[in-house]
Structure 1
Amino acid sequence: MSALQFPCKIFETQKKMDDKNAKDMKSGDLSEIELRAKFHLVDVSTRVDPYTMTKISPFSQPQSMFHGSRGEGEKLTRWECAEILFDELRHLSILFALHRPYNLLIDLMITHMQKGNGKQFSHQLLNSALKEHIVNDKTKNSTLRLLKDALDAEIDWENKSLSSNGKSELNKAILDGKLPKFDRYKDNFNGLGITVHDTWATHITIKSLYIDKERYHAKVHYEVQDHFGLDDDDISKVKFKYFRFLGIWFILQRYSLFAFKPFMTNMDATVDIYGGRNESKK
């Protein structure tokens, strides 16, 4: 049986990279009527009314004793209104991004949505977060741990190689685990839950495998892609629908008068696996 040649991709999700047809990659596809009736997005912002393009002041609130006084209903251009909504979005994001260093990401990504016109986004902080997650995952479902177990078992020590059959075993090991996602409790407050949370597509490649008499060293590359965008389900879930943050985001992305484009978020990390001849479970 032939030996594997490296680099060798050993895993990829069914969901594809660069999928522009994903449900959360839509923009500008909804009318005011749909947003109000289907998604119940009526009270969207505390600063502006995105439907009438007017500024909201304390005096324009019906319950105010000064209702009808100065500053009520100041008309805005579409882009002035969007600017205020983006500023409010940044302000509200603070609750989900309390801890450094990853709390810096949400501000960067909101600005990228505002000005990037759908261009893909990458940042070293995302790469660092991914690598930290992979390396520090000590659970039984850790893909890194399961890959090591599979390598321990499948390496042909006599020929100092990994057979082509070993590829399917490595793939199976990953399928038995949990791919790195930012859905841990701490991710609700460190900025990663709101910027990434789940992920869309993952590719895992063994870049190199060095085997000597008693030890091996594998370099494993994770390539992960997510979408910074909202689909219908995101805004319809009971746990999210009353978050003003998501309502504003949804309006900016999906309302036909704004239509700011969502974008793909790319991150990657290379990690090392070391093992020995006597570590095989077989």
Structure 2
Amino acid sequence: MSALQFPCTIFKSQNRMDDNSARDMRYGDLSASQLKTRYGLNYISDRVDPWTLTRRSALDNPRSMFCCNGRPAGAKITRQQCTAILFDEFRQLSREFSLYGPYCHLIEKMITHMQHGGGTPFRDGALDQALKQHIRNDKSEDNSTRILLAKTFEERINWDNKYYPVDQKNELCKAILRGRLPKFDRFQDSFNGMGITVHDTWATHITIKSLSVANNRYRALVHYKIQDHFGLDDEDITKGKFLAFNFFRIWFVLQRCNLFGFRPFMTNIEATIEITGHRNGY
């Protein structure tokens, strides 16, 4: 019997990394007519009408008692001006979903990256920290991949020879499959900024970077690499809760309309977690 060699990747999600063919990575593929007729996106913004390139006033808001009073259209603007106004409103509306906490600034930063980044991947240390804290703070015996891996190390390490057997590698993958991969869909994520920036995730890789065994103790370094897509697909915008908010209507139009066509992007998040334990739990 031989020892498993490290680093060793023990889990890869079915969805692959860097998948530009995913539905939420499409951009500039829909006409104004399609957006209005197929998705009901006639009214997008309280500040501007992107279909006629005219400014609005507060009285133009269809939720206002003063709506639809036959007033003439507002001042004409250029497409560049319209784009700038939409992105400013996009950022302003994002604050409704990111009220406070160490990650509340991220959504505006990511919107600006969509505006100017040209589809390049996005990284931020705050996202990495959020992932690390999420994994560390998950105390669920049934769902925490960290806890399930710890139990597997304890049970499967060859303690007498001080290594992890190569023929037990699959048990590490099973431990991940029994748990729940880190996602930012908890209650607190609905207002701390992580739910609107990441929420669910697209792809996950988990790699054991190192494992040392000595004195009936082990220490493992486990690396989580997670990728999400900052983009919307058709299913997103047809959900009532999304379609009801100008925030998502603006996002969808800026991304998918061929008049704008701003590219979605990959959000890359990584964290290395230390897992330690003892032989027989002592």
**How far off is 1:66 after superposition?**
9.0
Q: 1:222-247 CA deviation, whole Å, 9 max, x = no partner?
A: 00000000000010112222111100
The residue aligned with 1:134 is 135
**d(CA) in 2 for partners of 1:33, 1:143:** 47
Which TM-score applies when normalising by structure 2? 0.95
Q: Secondary structure at the match of 1:121?
A: coil
Q: 1:179-202 CA deviation, whole Å, 9 max, x = no partner?
A: 000000110100100000000000
Percent of pairs identical after alignment?
A: 55
Letter aligned with residue 206 of structure 1: I
Q: Is the 8 A contact 2:46 2:60 kept in 1?
A: no
CA distance 1:115–1:173, shift in 2 (3 Å)? same
**d(CA) in 2 for partners of 1:215, 1:162:** 12
The residue aligned with 1:4 is 4
Letter aligned with residue 113 of structure 2: H
The residue aligned with 1:97 is 98
Does residue 244 (structure 1) correspond to residue 246 (structure 2)? The answer is yes
* Number of residues of Structure 1 aligned to a counterpart in Structure 2: 277
The residue aligned with 1:114 is 115
Q: Is the 8 A contact 1:59 1:66 kept in 2?
A: no
Q: 1:60-96 CA deviation, whole Å, 9 max, x = no partner?
A: 677477934xxx4211111110110011011111110
Does residue 213 (structure 1) correspond to residue 222 (structure 2)? The answer is no
Letter aligned with residue 54 of structure 2: T
Q: Is the 8 A contact 1:157 1:213 kept in 2?
A: no
**RMSD between superposed Cα atoms in Å:** 1.5
Q: Is the 8 A contact 1:59 1:67 kept in 2?
A: no
Which TM-score applies when normalising by structure 1? 0.95
**How far off is 1:3 after superposition?**
1.1
The residue aligned with 2:202 is 200
Letter aligned with residue 82 of structure 1: T
Does residue 54 (structure 1) correspond to residue 58 (structure 2)? The answer is no
Give the unaligned 5+ runs of structure 1.
none
Give 1:67's match in structure 2, choosing from 71, 82, 88. 71
Does residue 80 (structure 1) correspond to residue 81 (structure 2)? The answer is yes
**d(CA) in 1 for partners of 2:67, 2:269:** 48
